[in-house]
Chain A
């Protein structure tokens, strides 16, 4: 029996800094996804919301909040919180309901509203909270990205110019994406002229935080067939594994890795897609395009390798050769990525799946990847959360 589900509809609220409540972004995205799917809201049997604990959320429970705003109609409801993987876990909840036969069609929604500047911890004197401790000694999110980037330079000979090329490419991809927040071309010189934030990374190497919303309508394959949508793109895998002890990389918000004194070190970012490939029965050589979490330009290069799209240390060369551009043999972040969107935490993993859906349907306009058949996403966030989703047609 197939473990796939169908993606009937996708929708987004454009990313930006709109200064409104997250509910509005979620509802706009949900209504767009419903309209795209042709499924009437009354037919939706399960509403799965993606949440965050920061920013605009305190006091809200995402799933029920979106369901109420759309008009409570008695559907089952769920809320998932998993940092940057919240969207994928909300999608996984919907898939489980569908595959278990508890429902046939579900709506998955994620949205966020964000403050300006650095993400900062809760106030007060709280030495037991690792997030508070690392800010107390001056270690912000970009510092981690800077450490990873410098490590690449030392291990593989990557240069700041290589990192800038990632920004130049993603900026070009996002130019004509109506949902992207930043739609402006950048040259390598402009990236190099932007302010240093966490050496070797400059302002234009690091993603912003944004407001935005994304939604999907998903169903059983049987439901899709009955509604004439047997050709709809399918979700072939959703990986939301935890890291395996001992972690080999210092991750936010920690100040130290696990000790590998009594256990082998493992790389979390590589484990996420490994599980997805295994679940889908699809190999990296079959991938047409990837949407990865480019919190920094250099991190996109790490992801390309973690997705096994090239050997370790070769991602910069792949980028220099133009392979990762739309039109190249393996486009990465055809949407423009976080470079053009900025991060809207609970919406971002769903936005990645929206992009793959448009690409696999051939509806991506100027950024269309030719003959896209298999797409993969990857993201990672705080507290050992991450995800990788495979979409195929």
Chain B
């Protein structure tokens, strides 16, 4: 699969480097707070009046905070083939950014392969409509 020929489901939310994709966030130049998504004009830290942000690549690995699945087909604007294939959803804690980011779990990874606290990494995969999205999968090399 050549990611460069695919359209991202959300423009500018992640890099299209298929080997090592990153979510694209923002970092407040004044206090260092990270934001995802990156669309931010005023820092939300109540003690910071920052208005300048740099685009940053968020850590592409983290720790599994929790996980679940979508056993039923989500409503529009979600697009899914019939018959609907349930998919996993992971919440992954990024250490440096000190934030938790949601995403689907990579297809082919069942919930029984997941456990809270395990290392996870980001990958790109196509949704059923062919648009690329970020997904979480157990990090290569297994448990730390």
Contacts and interface: CB of A to CB of B under 8 A. Distances in A.
B99 A258 contact: yes
Given A195-B71, A262-B45, A137 B103 contact: yes
A176 B69 CA distance: 35
Interface in A268-308: none
A137 B129 CA distance: 11
Given A138-B70, A154-B116, A262-B33, A256 B101 contact: yes
A132 B75 CA distance: 11
Given A117-B75, A137-B103, A259 B97 contact: yes
Interface string A99-143: 000000000000000000110110101011000111111111001
B35 A138 contact: no
Interface in A136-168: 136-140, 143, 146-151, 154-155
Contacts of B24: none
B74 A259 contact: no
Contact of B70 (A198, A200, A245, A259): A198
Nearest to B78: A138
Interface string A201-245: 100000000000000000000000000000000000000000011
B76 to A, nearest CB: 7
Nearest to A153: B116
A196 B69 CA distance: 9
Contacts of A43: none
B9 A136 contact: yes
Interface in B33-48: 33-37, 39, 44-48
Contacts of A196: 69, 71
Nearest to A200: B68
Nearest to A198: B68
A263 interface: yes
Nearest to B133: A137
A135 B103 CA distance: 11
A262 B66 contact: no
B137 to A, nearest CB: 16
B104 interface: yes
A169 B76 CA distance: 35
Contacts of B104: 137-138
Interface string B44-68: 1111100000000000000001111
A1 interface: no
**Main secondary structure on A side of the interface with B:** loop
Nearest to B98: A260
Nearest to B77: A136
B109 interface: no
B67 A135 contact: no
A250 interface: yes
Nearest to A123: B76
A242 to B, nearest CB: 10
A255 B69 CA distance: 15
A257 interface: yes
Contacts of B37: 133, 255-256
Given A139-B102, A151-B116, A263-B47, A146 B77 contact: no
A201 B111 CA distance: 13
Given A245-B46, A256-B99, A262-B33, A140 B75 contact: yes
Nearest to B75: A120
Contacts of B20: none
B74 A255 contact: no
A143 B117 CA distance: 19
B91 interface: yes
Contacts of A149: 68
A313 interface: no
A328 interface: no
A72 B46 CA distance: 43
Contacts of A265: 98
A123 B9 CA distance: 16
A143 B39 contact: no
Contacts of B102: 134, 139, 147, 250, 255-256
Nearest to A121: B77
18 contacts: A120-B76, A128-B39, A133-B10, A134-B102, A138-B104, A139-B70, A139-B74, A143-B89, A147-B67, A147-B68, A147-B102, A151-B116, A154-B66, A196-B71, A199-B111, A261-B33, A262-B48, A265-B98
Interface of A: 117-118, 120-121, 123, 125, 127-128, 132-140, 143, 146-151, 154-155, 195-201, 244-246, 249-250, 255-263, 265
Interface of B: 9-11, 28, 31-37, 39, 44-48, 65-72, 74-78, 80, 87, 89, 91, 96-104, 111, 115-117, 127, 133
